Structure 1
Amino acid sequence: MTKTQVIPQKFVFAEEGMTLHSNKPENEIEFPGLKVTVEIDAYKTNKHVLKEKLESIFEEVLGYFD
């Protein structure tokens, strides 16, 4: 009997951090680096349900920054 393996899809989104410099140090703006890795076992998955779940997760995470 063969063993079936489902390899999840993996998405990585990355943005490097940066600092916008100014003549006045108090006006410098920092943007932190950001890396998001999402692994999805999408075998027989309803893509609309998956999209709703991802939106819900990111909405909750972004809520921490309000």
Structure 2
Amino acid sequence: MYNYKSDATQFLEDYLEKHPEEAKQRLKNRGILWDVELNPEEEAGYQAAKLPKKPYAYQPD
């Protein structure tokens, strides 16, 4: 099997092994950026504000 790991991957794995507290911080930071609850009212407003796309974007009107 293919077992190559880049220098960056090896560094990160080694660092996380030596600093286990960083794994908790990574999960916390991930939650800030990605695990966000969307407001249904705002989301509905975004959907209502969308303009229809033209079938061919480069054709002049």
Could you tell me the TM-score, scaled by structure 1's length?
0.29
More RCO (CA 8 Å, sep 6+):
1
Could you tell me the TM-score, scaled by structure 2's length?
0.30
Of structures 1 and 2, the larger Rg is shown by 2
Higher normalized strand content (fraction of residues): 1
